[in-house]
Amino acid sequence: MGISMNKTGPAAEPIPALACWVSKQALVVGRKRRHSTRSWFRRLFVDKPEPKPAAEPGMEKLVLCAGMQRSGSTWLFNVLRYCYMNAGYKTYSDHPDDYDPSVPAYVHVLKLHRYHPDYHASADYVFSTYRDVRDAVASKMRRNLIKHTTEAAVKSALQMINEECLPWHPYANLEVRYEDMIKDRPAVVEAVIRALGLKGVNAAEVNRDVEKLRMMALGGRDRTTQLWPDHVTDGRVGSFKGTLSPEAVCAIEEVAGDWLTEHGYPVPASPKPEA
C-alpha cells in the first residue's frame, strides 16, 4: 500500500526545470470563490449534531491537508473533518485564503497545496497526497486549469512535484497515494484515524459521510467541504492516456521520470512518438 508514515528526514531535491519550457514563475489559476447554497443540504450532509467544545480554550489543534493538486486531497480533507466531527469535536475547516484563526473550535482543518512554512510551523498534524503526475496534469487539463499544450503540461507537472509534493514529504505524518484511495478507501480512513490517535471513531461511518457529499447541490465552491460543482473528472488510474498527447506524455516522463519510478509508476507509459 502507498500509505507511508513520516515525520523527519532530509528535504527532497527538486527536479530540474526544463529550461526551454519552464519558467520559475509559479502557475497561478484564478478562480472566483463563491460561497455555496442550500442550507437544507448542508444540515443533511455537512453539519453534525451539537459537538462538544474544545477541552480547554486556546488549545485548538491545526491539521493540514496538503499535497499535489488533483490527487484526492479534497477527499482526504473531508475525511479529516469527519474523523474529528464523528469523535464529537467542534471542527472548523477552510482554505488559507479565507482562514480565520480566531474561530473557536477544537480543531482547525486547512486544505492547501503549495508548501507554506508558516502553516507547517504551526501545524499539529500534516497529511499529504500524491498521484501519478501524468494523471494529475490530465485532470487539470480536463478542468481547463491549464492550456492543452505540451509546454503547459510539463510546467504543471514540475510545479506539482517541486512545490506541492516534495517539500511536504519530510514533515507528513501520513502520505496517501491516490491509487490507494481508489482501491480501498476504508483502509485509508483507518490509517488516518490511527495517525490522528482518535478513539471510538468508526472508519466505515466516516467513509459513508464523505461519500454523501457527492449528493450535495453546489452553485460554487463550498468553503466547508472545498468541493466545486465540477470537482471530479475522469478519476480512473491511467486516464491521462486519453487526455494527454503522446508528445506531452513523453515530455513529462523525460523531466519527471525519476520521481515517477521512485513512486512506483511505470515509465514509459506509452511508445515515443515518431520523429
Question: What are the boundaries of each domain within the chain?
Answer: 39-133+169-229
Which of the 8 DSSP states describes residue 273?
Answer: P
Q: Which residues have CB under 8 Å from 148's CB, separation 6+?
A: 141
SS3 108: strand
For residue 106, give Cα distances in angstroms to 21, 126, 146, 196, 255.
Answer: 46, 16, 38, 14, 43
66 contacts 126 by C-beta, under 8 angstroms: yes
CATH of domain 39-133+169-229: 3.40.50.300
Q: Name the strand (E) or helix (H) holding 237.
A: none
Which of the 8 DSSP states describes residue 120?
Answer: H
160 contacts 69 by C-beta, under 8 angstroms: yes
Mind listing the pLDDT tens digit of every residue in the chain (275 residues)? 556 555 444 445 555 544 334 333 333 333 333 333 333 334 334 444 444 444 344 457 999 999 999 899 999 999 999 999 999 999 999 999 999 999 999 999 999 999 999 999 999 999 999 999 999 999 999 989 999 999 999 999 999 999 999 999 999 999 999 999 999 999 999 999 999 999 999 999 999 999 888 766 556 678 888 886 655 555 788 899 999 999 999 999 999 999 999 999 999 976 555 55
Handedness of CA 233, 181, 127, 41 (dihedral sign): positive
DSSP characters over 238-268: TGGGGTS-HHHHHHHHHHHHHHHHHTT--S-
Residue 62, strand partner residues:
108
Dihedral in degrees, nearest 10, Cα atoms 88, 94, 100, 102: 10
SS3 184: coil
88-123 burial, b if ≥16 CB within 10 A, otherwise e? bbbbbbbeeeebeeeeebbbbbbbbbebbeebbeeb
179 contacts 239 by C-beta, under 8 angstroms: no
Give the strands of the sheet with 61-67, arranged side by side: 91-94, 107-111, 61-67, 125-130, 174-177
Distance CA 130, CA 71 (A): 5
Q: Which residues have CB under 8 Å from 26's CB, separation 6+?
A: 114, 159, 163
214 contacts 207 by C-beta, under 8 angstroms: no
pTM: 0.77
